[in-house]
Amino acid sequence: MRIWRTVRTREQILDNLFTRLRGDKQDLLGYWTFDRDSTAAATTSVRDEGLRGNNLAFSPKRPRILLSTAPVSTDTAQVRSALADVRTPFHDTVAGAPAASEYADLQFDAKGETLGVLKRCYGFVRDGRWHLVTGYKVGDLTTEWVGQAQFDPQLMGYIEGAPPVPSENLTDKPDGFPAASSVEFTEADQVVHSLSASKTRSTNTAFNVSFGFETVADVMTVTAPLGVGTASPLAEGQLLMAAQAGLEFSNTWSEDTTVSQGRNTARRTKLELTGYTEDPAKVLNSAIGPRYVPANTGMALVQSQTADVFALRLAHTGALVAYRMLPNPDIPADWNIVHFPINPRYTKQGTLDGAVGFDDYGKVTDPDYPTATGYGEYSYFKPRDAYALKRRITRDQQRLQAYYESISTEVGHDSGNPAAEAQAKAVLRSMGMSAELQSPGSPGGSATATGFSHRDLVNTYVWTAQGGFFAETTEATDAVSETTSGSYDFTYSYGGSFDLTFGALGLGWAFHLDASRGGGFSTTRAKSKESSRSFGLDVQCAPSNDLQRRDGNGRPKYDAAGKPVLVPGKVDAYRFLTFYLGENSANFDDFYHKVVDPTWLQGSNAPDAAALRQTRQSSAKPPCWRVLHRVTYVSRVLAPVPPPGAPPLERAMRTENIASNYELIKRLEPYVRPAATSSANLAAATRDALAAQLPELLPHAAEITEYLGHYFGMAN
């Protein structure tokens, strides 16, 4: 029997229901076990086994000892002691030897505080069925908060690794080449709320005065032959003269007030190159030596919940029993980063085209691309897919421009091309942008400052070992503005007139006066919201441009003429494209079916793998953005003496003292670039240039033309 001064949870009560209390006695008011010591002959009370000594005195009649059938023992209620022959209704039978296992349990007490319990589980078979008995408390565990972990992540976007670098160039540096390349995706939102009010007051005063006179003169003729006759007008005349004057006066006062508040939110997602130095005992290409092997790792941006991680330890020894996680109710879903290995058969960092330099026998291929000795699309080198994707993005931009040009600005008149407009509207809808932004008069067609389009971007970069770097980048900005205004106008006026006429001196005189006064005021109030979103890519790429060979002591080598001896197979120039693809469900599907390493995703116990398995959904595929890289041109230093298996073109180039593919292209580029408009024109220009400049290479014109086509971005 136990009496506590604190509230006990149901699980705490069940943990100690059929067994003695182990520890945790600080909140006990009384604990009576009714054991043999309390019923001895010399005992006068039932002793309190707690910490307060609340013994219970016997009544005049001493208690008797009975054989109890209560399942109180040092084990779970279903287990019967082999030394006691007392059966209870809780005991159970088994068909074979039972199994027992102990585990850690993390609980909350009535106050919401965590506590740890070590429990035991029994498994047994009876009547052909497996039974499991859990929850027997072995003892208390101490809880230790060790950190936090994420769970229930939602994939928002991912970067397929840092920009590609050739690992055959990453040599002869003790500390390696961390951060030799990096990519940063920046997305900035700006929202400005404005309130404005204006008041205008005015007064007007006007005076008009006129003064004039009028006279009339008549000449009469008289006819009176008999002394009496008639008079008739012979001539009449009238003179009217007037003078006028006017005066007007006006005055205006205005007041304008504008209040605005803005908020800028910027999100930057950056991934840098990492890796390790190759084991000298397991060098892939002995002709180059130990390399800095880049990690083929990508990064996923997720929004996830947060869980607290607790370590459960034995109280008396401090030994770790288990880790347990509990969701943290105080932290909402927030941003997190999950790193993942990229499928090496999809793209592999450190090898641009499936090869890792040359040795004495020719090209050295990466273990994941054993067939990369010939021309083909391996690792990042996928020019056909790269330029197809680039053309698709260019077409979308052109269709968007055609849409804006098709919209007429004439009110009530549509002079656009309906077919082009419908096509461009489909492009806008595919990018997540309302296609009715230009029709504010139509129902539901007004612009809103909350939605933006999802643009796709493509940037081009060229790196050379001579210290050159070229970048052609694009940034996108979308802006939406809303303005709502109302006005109130009031005007008033009053006036009078005065007229005076009289006659004097045979003249008629007139005087007229008009006077008026008026005024008015107007009030205008407006509110506006301006939203803009800009996003772009920032790529840094700086692999080693040291192509010189070194001896065993690390000293550089020179030829008889004192010129540096270059290492055959090292990359002296390459070009790559970096794409940003806006939010789309296809990106989510590609992530799990192409990008992430399937072996790691399915079989790894790493927390990142477990998190990505939670984000995978078979039915719903939430849209997410994506950053990827593609190499479209690679040039390597050729060997002075081509190996026996070298291609014929490589042998011919060495005969002409052309050290690399890049050097060959630079010698032909001035003659063939104007013809890089079609395959036929390029082939003709290449043959003419080879015939004039390098006739020994004319038999290889077809192969050189194909190589130039890839360099100029003409691959189909």
Name the β-bridge partners of 519.
203, 492
| 3-class SS letters over 358-427 | EECCEEEECCCCCCCCCCCCCCCECHHHHHHHHHHHHHHHHHHHHHHHHCCCCCCCCCCCHHHHHHHHHH
Asked if residue 433 has pLDDT above 60, the reply is no
Asked if residue 421 has pLDDT above 70, the reply is no
Average pLDDT over residues 563-583: 92
How far, rounded to the nearest angstrom, does the alpha carbon of residue 404 sit from its chain's CA centroid? 28
The CA-CA-CA angle for residues 32, 38, 44, to 5°, reads: 110
Distance CA 701, CA 709 (A): 12
Predicted confidence band of residue 158 (pLDDT cuts 50, 70, 90): very high
Q: Are strands 624-636 and 129-159 parallel, antiparallel or unpaired?
A: parallel
Other C-beta atoms within 10 Å of 373: how many? 15
Average pLDDT over the chain, rounded to whole? Answer: 84
Which pLDDT value is given to residue 577? 95
Specify whether the CB–CB gap between 285 and 219 falls below 8 A.
no
Distance CA 93, CA 73 (A): 17
Residue given tokens 């002075």 in the structure block: 640
Distance CA 145, CA 336 (A): 20
pLDDT tens by residue, 483-526: 888 888 888 888 888 888 877 777 788 888 888 888 888 999 89
Predicted confidence band of residue 440 (pLDDT cuts 50, 70, 90): very low
Which pLDDT value is given to residue 438? 43
**Residue % of the chain over a pLDDT of 90:** 29
And the tokens for 309? 């991680």
Average pLDDT over residues 326-339: 89
Domain ranges (residues) in the chain:
1-81, 92-159+305-331, 638-711
Asked if residue 594 has pLDDT above 50, the reply is yes
Q: Are strands 624-636 and 476-504 parallel, antiparallel or unpaired?
A: unpaired
How far, rounded to the nearest angstrom, does the alpha carbon of residue 197 sit from its chain's CA centroid? 38
Which pLDDT value is given to residue 691? 86
Q: Which residue has the higher pLDDT, 558 or 22?
A: 558
And the tokens for 99? 């199994």
pLDDT tens by residue, 514-546: 888 888 889 998 988 888 888 899 999 999 999
Other C-beta atoms within 10 Å of 176: how many? 19
Least confident segment among 32-46, 97-111, 238-252, 609-623 = 32-46
Residue among 380, 415, 384 nearest 578 (CA):
380
Asked if residue 382 has pLDDT above 90, the reply is yes
Q: Which amino acid is at 250?
A: S
And the tokens for 367? 């273990």
Least confident segment among 294-298, 369-373, 402-406 = 402-406
pLDDT tens by residue, 686-703: 888 888 888 888 888 888
SS3 label, residue 438: coil
Which pLDDT value is given to residue 417? 56
Predicted confidence band of residue 454 (pLDDT cuts 50, 70, 90): low
Average pLDDT over residues 227-233: 72
Asked if residue 316 has pLDDT above 60, the reply is yes
Q: Are strands 355-359 and 362-365 parallel, antiparallel or unpaired?
A: antiparallel
**Residue % of the chain over a pLDDT of 70:** 90
Q: Which amino acid is at 105?
A: D
549-576: buried (b, 16+ CB within 10 Å) or exposed (e) per residue?
A: beeeeeeeeeeeeeeeebbbbbbbbbbb
Contacts of 77 (CB under 8 A, 6+ apart): 17, 18, 71, 88, 90, 91
Report yes or no on whether pTM surpasses 0.75: no
How far, rounded to the nearest angstrom, does the alpha carbon of residue 366 sit from its chain's CA centroid? 33
Predicted confidence band of residue 204 (pLDDT cuts 50, 70, 90): confident
Predicted confidence band of residue 423 (pLDDT cuts 50, 70, 90): low
Specify whether the CB–CB gap between 604 and 203 falls below 8 A.
no
And the tokens for 124? 């047994």
Distance CA 617, CA 613 (A): 9
Sequential DSSP letters for 23-76: S--TTEEEE----GGGGSTT--EEPP-SSS--PEEPPSSPPPP----S--SSS-
The CA-CA-CA angle for residues 418, 421, 427, to 5°, reads: 145
Predicted confidence band of residue 411 (pLDDT cuts 50, 70, 90): low
Asked if residue 547 has pLDDT above 70, the reply is yes
Which pLDDT value is given to residue 715? 54
Predicted confidence band of residue 443 (pLDDT cuts 50, 70, 90): very low
Asked if residue 432 has pLDDT above 70, the reply is no
pLDDT tens by residue, 25-74: 888 999 988 876 677 777 888 888 888 889 888 877 777 777 777 888 88
Name the β-bridge partners of 252.
202
Predicted confidence band of residue 449 (pLDDT cuts 50, 70, 90): very low
Which pLDDT value is given to residue 442? 43
Q: Which residue has the higher pLDDT, 691 or 580?
A: 580
Beta strands of 98-180 (E only): which ranges? Answer: 99-108, 114-126, 129-159
Distance CA 63, CA 43 (A): 11
Contacts of 539 (CB under 8 A, 6+ apart): 163, 181, 182, 183, 184, 459, 461, 471, 473, 578
Contacts of 667 (CB under 8 A, 6+ apart): 658, 693, 694
Which pLDDT value is given to residue 437? 44
Instruction: Indicate the Cα dihedral angle 50, 56, 61, 63, nearest 10°.
Output: -20
634 burial level (CB within 10 Å; 0-12, 13-18, 19+): buried
Distance CA 17, CA 78 (A): 13
